[in-house]
């Protein structure tokens, strides 16, 4: 009897718990504004059925292609995005003038282990100087990080090619954190190695894939320190070099690169606006960076973010949503190797005494939406979290503290503008990032459009209710 009594008590407990959960969910749903819920459903429906973001991204990637600052592709992208926003009849469409770095990769890079027949897969790092025309042949010294250089000292490094070989930490669930933990080898490694007399640098590509597709990205030279050539190896090529060094510590590497930096080139940010009908002087900025690296098609980084930003305004138009505040879609130029577009935008905002309510950037790929990172007052983040029930649990499930983007962070620094970073699923981003893998065929249309709709829904709520 005792056993039977316990069984029914346990069953009753879980039944009550289930009923309580239903009551809680219904109460939460009833707290939502039904009009807002309907509008947000319409935003998702329209985005998922029209696939307009996907169509625009198709044109950008397949008709224009990669768009490094100063390139013909970047210029074409500027003119095309301005034309698209004009054709949509946004209240304003205009360009902001700026000058950008003009770095050219030149002919295909070469790298091989001397004495071995296999060619290594290699890409010059962005802003790298070239090798001499005949290339460089030198012994290789392997390190796991920038901190190893000081330990080895000039005597062991001078005249050699430094091989930065610390892999991206695959144990980290957050691939952004894994990337951040390895990227100093790329950004600071060449300048640091030059201090100790290195003649060149190669790095294991900063990424999460186990392939032989090298990943480029900017390196930063330091005034007063000699600039030396710097390149990234595909992961399989890096493994070949690792093994060669184990077999023979005196192995030599040949590398030849043909890149050059020309005079700064004129370019533009491209801006489209829907003007607010109640608070036109309160500006909500959404954007991505129009430039991309000169490999792949810049689909995820960051054609997706740009096309999503344009489509947020277009969704407002198509659904008859009249914004209270002015909403801007900004195509920033030169995020990849200079950030001059973001700096110019913030500089003009300050000069013109503009009141930016908040700014959002989409620059983490065209993957399934997961959440938003927010740099704002605690009360604002708390308010945003009350809006989570408007989002399907398969889209936005959290608002975390801390977020923004390279192009909108200057607004925060100069004007104190709160910032938001759109966070899609990150597991594939660094398989693709800064490489030939970043192509249109790697984009899934539903994932891309779910991102567009999620951003548009948040902007709708911010516009209506403020911070």
Give the model confidence (pLDDT) of 253-300 as tens digits: 999 999 999 999 999 999 999 999 999 999 999 999 999 999 999 999
23 belongs to a structural domain: no
My answer on whether 303 and 386 are in the same domain is yes
Q: DSSP secondary-structure letter at 210?
A: -
Strand partners, 204: 233
For residue 53, give the CATH number of its domain. Answer: 3.40.630.10
Which pLDDT score, from 0 to 100, does residue 117 have? 79
- Residue 122 domain boundaries: 106-258
Q: Which residues contact 240 (CB under 8 A, 6 or more apart)?
A: 113, 116, 118, 120
- Local structure of 409: helix, strand or coil: helix
Instruction: Kindly report the number of other CB atoms within 10 A of residue 169's CB atom.
Output: 15
My answer on whether 48 and 149 are in the same domain is no
My answer on whether 202 and 285 are in the same domain is no
Strand order in the sheet with 161-164: 110-113, 252-256, 136-143, 161-164, 200-204, 230-233, 122-124
Quote the CA–CA distance of 293 and 128 in Å, as a whole number: 13
Peptide bond into 57 cis (omega under 30): no
Number of domain units in the chain = 2
My answer on whether 192 and 312 are in the same domain is no
22 belongs to a structural domain: no
Nearest alpha-carbon partner for 367 in 281, 437, 429: 429
My answer on whether 359 and 393 are in the same domain is yes
My answer on whether 214 and 340 are in the same domain is no
CA distance between the termini of the chain = 59
Instruction: Kindly report the number of other CB atoms within 10 A of residue 180's CB atom.
Output: 14
Q: Which of 240, 258, 276 is the last residue of a domain?
A: 258
**Biggest alpha carbon–alpha carbon distance for the chain:** 92
Say if residues 380 and 389 touch (Cβ distance below 8 Å).
Answer: no
The half-sphere exposure of 427 on its side-chain side, counting CA atoms within 13 A, is: 5
My answer on whether 150 and 128 are in the same domain is yes
Quote the CA–CA distance of 1 and 54 in Å, as a whole number: 64
Task: Give φ, ψ of 262 to 5 degrees.
Answer: -95, 180
Q: Which of 258, 278, 310 is the last residue of a domain?
A: 258
**Tokens found for residue 118:** 């296999």
- The angle at the Cα of 426, spanning 421 to 431, to the nearest 5 degrees, equals 125
Quote the CA–CA distance of 130 and 410 in Å, as a whole number: 32
- Mark residue 187 as left, alpha or beta (left: phi above 0; alpha: psi -120 to 50; beta: remaining): alpha
> What is this structure's pTM?
0.92
Strand partners, 424: 369
Q: Which of 215, 236, 258 is the last residue of a domain?
A: 258
My answer on whether 280 and 345 are in the same domain is yes
Pairing outcome for strands 279-289 and 325-332:
parallel
Q: Which residues of the chain have pLDDT under 70?
A: 1-31
Which pLDDT score, from 0 to 100, does residue 9 have? 52
Strand partners, 141: 162
My answer on whether 458 and 331 are in the same domain is yes
My answer on whether 349 and 452 are in the same domain is yes
């Amino acid at each position: 009897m005792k056993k039977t009594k316990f069984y029914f008590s346990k069953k009753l407990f879980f039944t009550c718990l289930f009923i309580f959960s239903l009551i809680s969910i219904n109460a939460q749903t009833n707290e939502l504004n039904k009009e807002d819920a309907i509008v947000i459903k319409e935003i998702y429906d329209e985005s998922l059925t029209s696939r307009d973001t996907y169509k625009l991204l198709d044109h950008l990637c397949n008709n224009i292609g990669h768009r490094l600052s100063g390139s013909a592709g970047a210029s074409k992208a500027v003119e095309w995005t301005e034309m698209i926003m004009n054709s949509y009849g946004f209240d304003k469409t205009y360009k902001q003038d700026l000058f950008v770095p003009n770095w050219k990769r030149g002919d295909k890079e070469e790298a091989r282990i001397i004495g071995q027949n296999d060619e290594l897969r290699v890409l010059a790092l962005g802003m790298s100087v070239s090798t001499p025309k005949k290339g460089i042949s030198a012994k290789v010294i392997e390190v796991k990080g920038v901190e190893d250089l000081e330990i080895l000292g000039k005597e062991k490094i001078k005249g050699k090619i430094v091989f930065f070989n610390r892999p991206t930490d695959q144990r980290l669930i957050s691939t952004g954190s894994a990337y951040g933990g390895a990227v100093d080898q790329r950004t600071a490694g060449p300048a640091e190695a030059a201090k100790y007399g290195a003649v060149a640098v190669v790095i294991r590509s900063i990424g999460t894939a186990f392939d032989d597709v090298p990943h480029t990205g900017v390196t930063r030279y330091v005034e007063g320190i000699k600039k030396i050539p710097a390149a990234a190896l595909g992961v399989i090529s890096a493994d070949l070099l690792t093994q060669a060094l184990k077999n023979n510590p005196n192995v030599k590497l040949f590398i030849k690169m043909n890149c050059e930096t020309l005079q700064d080139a004129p370019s533009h940010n491209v801006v489209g606006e829907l003007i607010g009908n109640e608070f036109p002087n309160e500006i909500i900025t959404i954007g991505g960076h129009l430039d991309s690296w000169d490999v792949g098609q810049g689909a995820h980084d960051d054609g997706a973010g740009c096309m999503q930003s344009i489509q947020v305004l277009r969704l407002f138009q198509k659904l008859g949503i009249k914004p209270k505040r002015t909403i801007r879609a900004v195509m920033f130029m030169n995020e990849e190797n200079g950030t001059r577009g973001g700096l110019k935008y913030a500089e003009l905002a300050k000069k013109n005494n503009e009141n930016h309510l908040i700014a959002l950037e989409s620059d983490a790929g065209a993957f399934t939406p997961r959440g938003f990172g927010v740099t704002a007052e605690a009360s604002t983040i708390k308010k945003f979290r009350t809006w989570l029930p408007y989002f399907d649990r398969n889209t936005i499930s959290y608002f975390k503290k801390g977020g923004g983007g390279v192009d909108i962070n200057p607004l925060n620094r100069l004007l104190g503008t709160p910032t938001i970073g759109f966070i899609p699923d990150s597991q594939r981003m660094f398989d693709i990032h800064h490489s030939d893998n970043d192509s249109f065929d790697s984009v899934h249309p539903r994932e891309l459009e779910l991102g567009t709709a999620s951003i548009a829904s948040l902007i709708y709520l911010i516009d209506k209710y403020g911070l």
